[in-house]
Structure 1
Amino acid sequence: MLRIGLISDTHGLLRPAAADFLQGCARIIHAGDVGDAAILEALASIAPVIAVRGNNDRGAVLEDLPETARTELAGVRLYVLHDLKQLAIDPAAAGVNVVVSGHSHRPLVEERAGVLYVNPGSAGRRRFKLPICVGELVVDGREVIPRLVELDG
């Protein structure tokens, strides 16, 4: 069994509750709008990090992040990008099992055409009345179990 932590839209704020939730993950995926390179350093002290650049990521370190990332963990193919509206591939045709995104600040778990789409929401400062969330993927054999956790209630 493999636990993959999901976080997005920190915008320079890593909440202690988010860091606590991510403890014990084998990998952490940050789906953009990191806001500060120190966030990636703090996450890397928990587990190896896969991160993509969000539309608000500025500065030398953050501007060097890729726009998308592909990885395979425990036989599960993941595709990571910040804004799902900019998805430029057909995930099912590309053999992707899970697409992880951020940007909207709205938590989402949805399956389309056999592909799981997960947005962990925003773990940073509150935007409007949207929840503060993080997520995880638990990979158990061929099964991928997504879970989103609200940190503020």
Structure 2
Amino acid sequence: MFKKLFGKKDNSCKLVSPINGETIAIEEVNDPTFASGMLGKGVGIKPAEGRVVAPVAGEITIMFPTKHAVSILSEDGAEILIHIGLDTVNLQGQHFTSHVEVGQKVNVGDLLVEFDAEKIKEAGYDITSPVLVCNPDAFESVEPTEYGPVSIGDEIIKITKK
């Protein structure tokens, strides 16, 4: 009983996949800004479909006008960036539909953005989508769980609080 009352509480939280597809190491993403870890720690996801949902509960802090990227501040204080495709900012919002706005509260699984993966690929863009924790120094550790096939809701990153 005392262990239950005074034992070490769980200091970790998880970030689940916002996209069905395949996860790869961030270092394998074909963009030096993401691959270097300059923007944070995380994974790349090769999408199997054009739907992005919230990987954490929190608040939308940035919804790019071009709809290719969204940032969420999680309830645990993690700053999450989901960047759909590489250099897709150049599409100026074409082939993207946003379902959220800045200041909106979201729960895990809420629809954030839909995109036409085929049209984006036809336009010459890589749809590999980095999912990052942009403030990893605020945590003890931020570690991808494993790489390979992933479904929406599967844990992709384990975050351990300080």
Would you say same fold, with TM above 0.5? Answer: no
Identify the structure with the greater strand proportion: 2
Larger radius of gyration: 2
Structure with the bigger RCO (C-alpha within 8 Å, sep 6+) is 2
